[in-house]
């Protein structure tokens, strides 16, 4: 289980972006989290992905409470969660060729030997040709780069996937293709999915169930507040 219990999180303790959010994803389940721009759903996704320490509340991964986030999170937890962000440009190191971008998690966790086999499988899965794998991010389209980012998220075979607006920058065909890649992966591994987005039609079609931000936080969200940041950097 991936359980978010009464999570309060934000960037200023006096004005948290997320208040008291509770959401559970069962193993193998896919849950879509729906909310308008600026409501805080991406922040909650970052908490679930071990990338943002909440101010209050508990995150349980497979029954164990998480105490450390970001680089302090223990490796066995970090590698259990794969993340795909909205903007591939901002979440890809511009210096790395796509092949190195995808292989980086393997190298960082001392599984260098697995690179050739895993790369071959994943390139095929996400539809990247050897020619594209040899390029750097500025030499490929958004859609091609997001394919690489999905491959990077799957490379360590995570038990949990967090997709934060994964398809917001993509055209319809690439969207359908990448959702297909994630679903094939889940069908073969039984991984759970938290897909965050604002497109009800898409998430209804994609996920087993969807949860609205109001029900997750127990209160309504006024939409993008006047002070809500416009740019959503997926650092």
115 or 168, CB closer to other proteins? Answer: 168
Is 53 an interacting residue with respect to other proteins (CB under 8 A)? Answer: no
Q: Which is nearer to other proteins, 5 or 97 (CB)?
A: 97
If binding is defined by CB under 8 A, does position 213 make contact with other proteins? no
Q: Does 169 bind other proteins (CB under 8 A)?
A: yes
* Minimum distance, C-beta of residue 173 to other proteins, in the bound complex (Å): 4
Please state whether beta strands 160-164 and 192-197 pair in parallel, antiparallel, or not at all (unpaired). Answer: parallel
Nearest to 149 by CA among 195, 107, 87: 87
User: Which member of 37, 67, 107, 157 binds other proteins (CB under 8 A)?
Assistant: 37
Q: How many residues bind other proteins (CB under 8 A)?
A: 42
- In whole angstroms, the minimum distance from the beta carbon of 106 to other proteins comes to 25
Q: In what order do the strands lie in the sheet with 18-25?
A: 18-25, 2-9, 56-61, 64-65
Q: Is 40 in the site for other proteins (CB under 8 A)?
A: no
Nearest 10 degrees: CA dihedral of 49, 55, 57, 59? Answer: 20
Q: Which is nearer to other proteins, 62 or 214 (CB)?
A: 214
Residue 171 in contact with other proteins, rule: CB under 8 A: yes
Pick the piece of the chain touching other proteins (CB under 8 A) from 4-12, 51-59, 70-78, 165-173.
165-173
* 113-152 residues near other proteins, rule: CB under 8 A: 127, 131, 141-144
- Give the distance between the most distant pair of CA atoms in the chain: 50
CB of 200 to other proteins, least distance (A): 7
Q: Which of 3, 29, 164, 165 binds other proteins (CB under 8 A)?
A: 165
Does 176 engage in binding with other proteins (CB under 8 A)? Answer: yes
Calpha distance 213→218 (Å, rounded): 8
Among 15-23, 54-62, 100-108, 171-179, the segment contacting other proteins (CB under 8 A): 171-179
Interaction site with other proteins (CB under 8 A): 36-38, 86-87, 127, 131, 141-144, 165, 168-177, 179-180, 198-202, 204-206, 223-232
């Amino acid at each position: 289980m991936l359980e978010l219990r009464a999570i309060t999180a934000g960037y200023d303790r006096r004005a948290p972006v997320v208040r008291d959010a509770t959401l559970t994803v069962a193993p193998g389940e896919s849950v879509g989290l729906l909310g308008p721009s600026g409501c805080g759903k991406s922040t909650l996704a970052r908490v679930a992905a071990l990338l943002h320490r909440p101010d209050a509340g508990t995150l349980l991964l497979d029954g164990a409470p998480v105490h450390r986030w970001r680089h302090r999170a223990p490796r066995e937890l970090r590698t259990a969660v794969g993340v795909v962000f909205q903007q591939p440009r901002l979440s890809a190191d511009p210096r790395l060729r796509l092949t190195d971008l995808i292989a980086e998690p393997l190298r960082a966790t001392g599984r260098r030997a697995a690179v050739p086999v895993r790369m071959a499988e994943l390139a095929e899965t996400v539809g990247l040709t050897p020619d594209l794998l040899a390029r750097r991010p500025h030499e490929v389209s958004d859609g091609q780069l997001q394919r690489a980012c999905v491959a990077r998220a799957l490379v360590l075979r995570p038990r949990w996937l967090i997709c934060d607006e994964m398809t917001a920058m993509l055209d319809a065909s690439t969207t359908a293709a990448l959702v297909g890649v994630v679903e094939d992966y889940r069908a073969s591994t039984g991984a759970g999915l938290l897909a965050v987005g604002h497109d009800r039609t898409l998430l209804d079609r994609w996920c087993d169930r969807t949860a609205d931000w109001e029900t997750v936080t127990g209160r309504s969200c006024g939409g993008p507040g006047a002070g809500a940041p416009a740019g959503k950097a997926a650092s």
